[in-house]
């Protein structure tokens, strides 16, 4: 009788490589992640640029440690709390790649005495505030909008950028370190060639801004760029000084869609227990919802939402994506997988299904407390 009931049978237990996983859990394939790090670090080295990876993707001291083996000593994060976390794990040179939040000035002052802290500014209001309240040396990067239109001063507003640099310069505690941009519009690109084109355009624009600032008396500003699609698809980073990709350590379905990675480079998946099957409508109900995967989705060619791809568990993590199988709906804790009869007859209530998320940064953020390395 037990042969029908999945998880409890010896047969299925033997086939279940993760009996210790009871609820939605982020699986990280260490070998793949390290391979991704090695590749990116190697490309940065070959181009002679600084590799300052963004740690917002993993937010993990353990994963951070893997980067040290490739000589990484400078990192990027997206919040002050994340900077404090990594500082407490020995990182001593940290960029908070987010427009400076002046309400946090007291915590910034404390941290800036412990580590070499880099901050982003884009307005005179913020710089004037810092002139009055900064209690430690701060390395400021002017946030430039090179085309993404999210934040930053447009790259060709040379007068405004030079005025901001001049304002920073008047304070002995504030250094103008360089110009920083995030070309997030690569995520909206229709092809890999378009992504490479955006990268070239971004680099040229940042160089033009730098040249104008050199003429205004700021001769040695660095250029920092970096988004995973461009950093994955471009081979030669000459012309910039620093790259800051983050997502590439895990990659995800979004990056696969963009063409910035191959399926076998994806290093993170969410193990989700199967809690019900509905063969009549080709659906499996997972314990794994918006609070585990996030609500990020891509649209399929057919115009339906896809919140993740699915694979079967394997000792090394998970197998190839199952064909015609994907997470089609999410509520707070439920995930609904659309699939065919083959998987429905094969998988049992109590088994795990591995969901490769659309956006691994958000899934990793949600599952910070529930991670397993394989």
- Minimum Å gap between C-beta 296 and its own copies is 5
- Burial zone of 63 (CB within 10 Å; 0-12 exposed, 13-18 middle, 19+ buried): buried
Residue pair 251/32 in contact (Cβ under 8 Å)? The answer is no
Residues forming the site for its own copies (CB under 8 A): 1-2, 4-8, 21-23, 56, 78-81, 98-104, 107, 122-126, 128-129, 132-133, 143, 149-152, 184, 273, 275-278, 281, 285, 287, 290-291, 294-296, 329, 331-334, 336, 348-350, 361-362, 365-366
Q: How far is CA 199 from the centre of its chain?
A: 18
Which residue, 98 or 237, is less far from its own copies as judged by CB?
98
Which residue, 93 or 365, is less far from its own copies as judged by CB?
365
Which residue, 49 or 374, is less far from its own copies as judged by CB?
374
- Which of 65, 1, 51, 63 minimizes the C-alpha distance to 26? 63
- Minimum Å gap between C-beta 299 and its own copies is 13
Which residue, 28 or 119, is less far from its own copies as judged by CB?
119
- Minimum Å gap between C-beta 25 and its own copies is 11
- Minimum Å gap between C-beta 295 and its own copies is 4
Which residue, 99 or 239, is less far from its own copies as judged by CB?
99
- Minimum Å gap between C-beta 71 and its own copies is 26
- Rounded to whole angstroms, the Cα distance separating 36 from 22 reads 29
Structure tokens at 119: 């901050």
Structure tokens at 193: 């060639």
- Minimum Å gap between C-beta 314 and its own copies is 18
Which residue, 49 or 284, is less far from its own copies as judged by CB?
284
Phi, psi of 253 (to 5 degrees): -65, -35
Residue pair 51/243 in contact (Cβ under 8 Å)? The answer is yes
- Rounded to whole angstroms, the Cα distance separating 120 from 129 reads 13
Residues facing 121 on adjacent strands: 142
């Amino acid at each position: 009788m037990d042969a029908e009931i999945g998880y409890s049978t010896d047969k299925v237990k033997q086939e279940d490589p993760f009996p210790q996983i009871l609820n939605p859990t982020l699986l990280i394939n260490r070998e793949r992640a390290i391979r991704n790090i090695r590749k990116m670090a190697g490309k940065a080295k070959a181009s002679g640029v600084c590799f300052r990876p963004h740690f917002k993707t993993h937010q993990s001291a353990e994963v951070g440690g893997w980067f040290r083996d490739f000589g990484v000593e400078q990192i990027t994060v997206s919040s002050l709390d994340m900077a404090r976390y990594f500082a407490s794990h020995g990182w001593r040179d940290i960029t908070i790649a987010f427009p400076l939040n002046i309400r946090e000035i007291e915590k910034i002052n404390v941290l800036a005495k412990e580590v070499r802290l880099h901050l982003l500014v884009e307005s005179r209001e913020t710089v004037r505030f810092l002139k009055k309240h900064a209690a430690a040396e701060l390395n400021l990067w002017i946030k430039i909008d090179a085309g993404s239109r999210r934040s930053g001063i447009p790259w060709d507003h040379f007068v405004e950028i030079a005025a901001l640099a001049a304002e920073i310069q008047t304070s002995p505690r504030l250094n103008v370190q360089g110009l920083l941009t995030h070309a997030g519009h690569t995520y909206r690109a229709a092809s890999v060639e378009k992504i490479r084109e955006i990268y070239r355009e971004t680099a040229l624009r940042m160089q033009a801004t730098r040249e104008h600032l050199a003429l205004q008396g700021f001769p040695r500003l660095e250029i920092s760029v970096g988004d995973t699609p461009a950093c994955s698809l471009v081979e030669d980073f000459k012309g910039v000084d620093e790259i800051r990709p983050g997502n590439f350590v895990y990659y995800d379905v979004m990056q696969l869609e963009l063409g910035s990675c191959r399926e076998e480079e994806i290093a993170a998946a969410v193990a989700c227990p199967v809690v019900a099957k509905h063969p009549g409508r080709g659906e499996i109900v997972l314990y794994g919802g918006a609070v585990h995967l996030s609500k990020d989705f891509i649209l399929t060619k057919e115009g339906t939402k896809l919140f993740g791809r699915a694979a079967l568990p394997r000792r090394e993590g998970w197998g190839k994506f199952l064909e015609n199988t994907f997470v089609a709906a999410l509520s707070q804790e439920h995930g609904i997988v659309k699939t065919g009869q083959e998987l429905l007859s094969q998988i049992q209530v109590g088994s795990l299904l591995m969901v490769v998320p659309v956006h691994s940064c958000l899934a990793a953020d949600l599952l910070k407390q529930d991670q397993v390395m394989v």
